[in-house]
Structure 1
């Protein structure tokens, strides 16, 4: 018999609760409306106490706390755990319900409509309040149209329109909101499936894809001022067409005007994310003007104050913005951006992110001594920072003609990569990409200006080798030696 409940659903759920959640759950269990068992409250408190001390959730010990003086009964103890687990599920559902004011009104209207004696004054008050609430609803994404559909359906049931054949009902509103919800949500799911297909080559069988696209295109002018439909339709165009620049510019314009109608995460990840991915695809095809477009998309998010999520900025996003700005020569802008947003980085990643990105800035500014000051004695916990910082350091030593330091670094870097290979912390292909860089740098520093045949062979090898890290920099240095 397993003597603990550490790996049970109940223990897992309780472990996810933060301080506020634990207090709210305690109040929930103390309410006689939800729970009449004192034993379950004791069991809840004791499990939390043991979890906070990282002690095992011993069954016999817990039994002794809730049923004092009785011999352990496994069947009864499992029943206590099952009952508490169900109450925790109900608590989480109750929390979600209380956070969704619209759904509260929908269920309230439904309950009023089901009663034989309707509370007319209450119903009228709720209808008026719900209408005002939806006027003030901050978003115009699919959730808005779903809520409107549910509320309109509740009004229909409240008025008992099904029995009032001679009275004009709100069936038109019900139908319109349902159509606008369905069409927008379906388009959103199509874009999600297409994005995943392109990223991971996963296939999804969605119904009515061609029909939805046809209907949207046919009625597009009638769907103006419905940004959740317009935007996702344009995303589908840039995902499904090879040359879709016109659709990209339409999408960019729509997002710029309507991003505030969507929750922040949706606006950044889905809407701006789709536009950014299109720019990256075009940049990889050699169309440099889309580097400017990508930078514009980042700046739009800053202007619209949606870059931060709960006051925090992802270190990955922070770095991507800086890379694009540096490639465009926006050095002053980059420095201002680092200084303004570094305090918004998660504290555990802040030092690494700031140190590395400042080093990047100094490298582009050709302040090579400052690069070395930033990176020479830093060993990052994060593998990607380690790889990138060593890459920048190698290029810096080359620019300063510090050949001995460069040889030493290539040796230590190779050892580091070998260690990562043994620990299986990096894919073999990624390790090879960095090893190619090391090999080409060591070949590069052996050349003297004017060795055209050797340099031509090196250039050919760099171009022919797939995935070489910092390949553009290598080609630039080869070109300098060829002059």
Structure 2
């Protein structure tokens, strides 16, 4: 039965897999001879010549071969075991840990000689070059170095390697500590920025030393990114630090692990939002540049999906910048990446936004009414739809029917009740929308008392 499994397994390999498996068999760590590789090639050729439904047995290969049944059975068993290992490795080829663990196992089971040690050192040196920069990469290098050091002190000729590994272990630990500390300080500074808390003093010798040194030279690129984020959010020459961060992300984001890259982009985007809310409209262009980088570097997708909030933010931002044609193309291109369960609703909302910014206010009114009527479970779509519905009414006030004017007035009470009665809206957000509703009422009074002022207000 084992031989039959071997031949069934061989049918699964395409040409590239065959080459890869041959290279795998030739790996010196497995000490395989050319005989097994030649046997594999011959077996595969014979199998491909047989009908698909044929039951392959050892007898099919004994004919014309000088191998005994016992010898061929042994060769098939070895080939089957190695083929299973190879397929398992291929399944996890994106995870360097599998390869490293197999390498360690191969070395630990043999007397470590100079050639194997050199290869191990080469693997360790190439680890950071082969993987993207991030704390997980540093931890993996640390683990490899530590295990290598443990093996070094157990062998006769490699005891001196302990001292070399000892130095590298300290270096890796320092890098990991610095990166994680900067990540934590960045998150703290971001929270303070969002909730407008005073910057305060981090109270940590590490940051004080780094900040007062006057330079961040010597920090790895990713750690420098977090350093720039903290300085940017401290409020001291934030624009200068932001520009440096923008350049760093543009040049290096593709070399970072996705979680760290998205974190840095998130801090930069929050900084843009805070400044644009203060009337610094040039930060809308900066936010657009950041989103374009996310799209260009393929970082916008998470597990093959685009988060609806990101989709909404990109659409609204670029509509405000007047890039409605670009937005239309973006919606068409990235709509398939929205989560299936919410895709219809997400598209309904964003297409309504696009209609509004194109100046198609009558269709926008119908679309926003549909959103309010149907998307009752999504609080924030409901809020934004009411805001844009009122704006749409206002933009075409002179052409509204009496029924539409009545709807516009009723929107004041319905919007106010929606905000006050909804427990899903945070207190800070409720206050923001109360202020909006207050202004809403004031404009309604102006429209009622002085209809001629509409044209002037629309130009504000």
Which residue matches 1:265?
259
* SS at 2:280 equivalent: coil
1:320 corresponds to 2:300: no
Deviations 1:161-207 (A, max 9, x none): 99946996343333332222222222122112222333355989664
Distance 1:480 1:127, change over 3 A: closer
Which residue matches 2:389?
393
1:184 corresponds to 2:179: yes
1:278 corresponds to 2:257: no
Contact 2:133/2:257 (CA < 8 Å) preserved in 1? no
* SS at 1:362 equivalent: helix
Which residue matches 2:244?
250
1:418 corresponds to 2:417: yes
Which residue matches 1:160?
153
Distance 1:175 1:419, change over 3 A: closer
TM-score by length of 2: 0.66
Distance 2:312 2:162 in 1: 61
1:446 corresponds to 2:445: no
Distance 1:417 1:210 in 2: 46
Distance 2:191 2:211 in 1: 22
Contact 2:364/2:392 (CA < 8 Å) preserved in 1? yes
Which residue matches 2:112?
120
Alignment of 1:277-356 (within 5 A): 277-356=270-349
Structure 1 or 2, whichever has the larger Rg, is 2
Alignment of 1:191-210 (within 5 A): 191-200=186-195, 201=197, 207-210=204-207
Which residue matches 2:52?
none
Distance 1:448 1:413, change over 3 A: closer
Contact 1:312/1:346 (CA < 8 Å) preserved in 2? yes
1:241 corresponds to 2:220: no
Distance 1:292 1:191 in 2: 23
Distance 1:290 1:377, change over 3 A: closer
Alignment of 1:194-233 (within 5 A): 194-200=189-195, 201=197, 207-214=204-211, 217-218=214-215, 220-223=216-219, 226-233=220-227
Deviations 1:61-111 (A, max 9, x none): xxxxxxxxxxxxxxxxxxxxxxxxxxxxxxxxxxxx999653894798599
Distance 2:112 2:159 in 1: 17
Contact 1:145/1:181 (CA < 8 Å) preserved in 2? yes
- Pairs aligned (count): 355
Contact 2:356/2:392 (CA < 8 Å) preserved in 1? yes
Deviation (angstroms), 1:299? 0.7
1:139 corresponds to 2:109: no
* SS at 2:370 equivalent: coil
1:358 corresponds to 2:358: no
Contact 1:145/1:180 (CA < 8 Å) preserved in 2? yes
Distance 1:304 1:423, change over 3 A: closer
Contact 1:355/1:374 (CA < 8 Å) preserved in 2? yes
Deviation (angstroms), 1:125? 9.3
Let me know the Cα RMSD of the aligned residues. Answer: 3.8
Deviates more, 1:253-262 or 1:168-177: 168-177
For structure 1, the residue ranges without an aligned partner over 5 or more in a row are 1-96, 452-473
